[in-house]
Structure 1
């Protein structure tokens, strides 16, 4: 099982530390590789920033937080996780995860790039062919989300 935490971290293109999720101690934008590519075929995932906290549209921000919250029953949800720090919206570069709830486990089953949106909701995803997944205890995930929200609201200026 993986560990997930929320910490302050300075991403590649940010000017100051901000809240990020870490998986097994590695910042999420560095942990997921090969999700977002430049036109020349280079991995451009590193440097993306969390959708939760960075989205400038209030409705998109609300949806990003709601989608991150695990549902009480066995199901899956597509969650926007990382966005381009220049645009700060869901219209440009968006890394998503298929988040699966199985009892007391929460699994980030696969990662991909959003390719279509309707009213701020991701409707189509180009899934990453590199199989990378993470499995957390639901309790630890919920604690990490609560800490992420606290850091976003009280520590990040």
Structure 2
């Protein structure tokens, strides 16, 4: 068992013993998502820590989107629950990049791509190829793409 997956299981046990309903239900759903990912495809396999982290990030994103949808629908109690679950999941993810840090990384990648001869619409793909490995798991793709577009236009 990977260390991140083992930590999820240990934390679930601790949450159950502490009778922390929010934390235990969130961790149960996350562990179920990890297990589902392990058996997806043609052959069952054990996920690496990076893959488990991607599953957790996907689950956290679902919580944020659901919270927004509930808030727009006037169901503030349910939206609050989704936000609280997202906070629990954020503990297992690397610290997100701030706007300034992200902008700096993208600016360097834009310079690199332009030095490589990428101009116009093709520059977007070239810059994203450079940026994605550097920010993996620390910034959402939409945020990265928006910053890249902004710096390419400006």
Q: Whose helix proportion is higher, 1 or 2?
A: 2
Q: Please give the range of the TM-score, normalised by the shorter of the 2 chains.
A: under 0.3
Q: Whose strand proportion is higher, 1 or 2?
A: 1
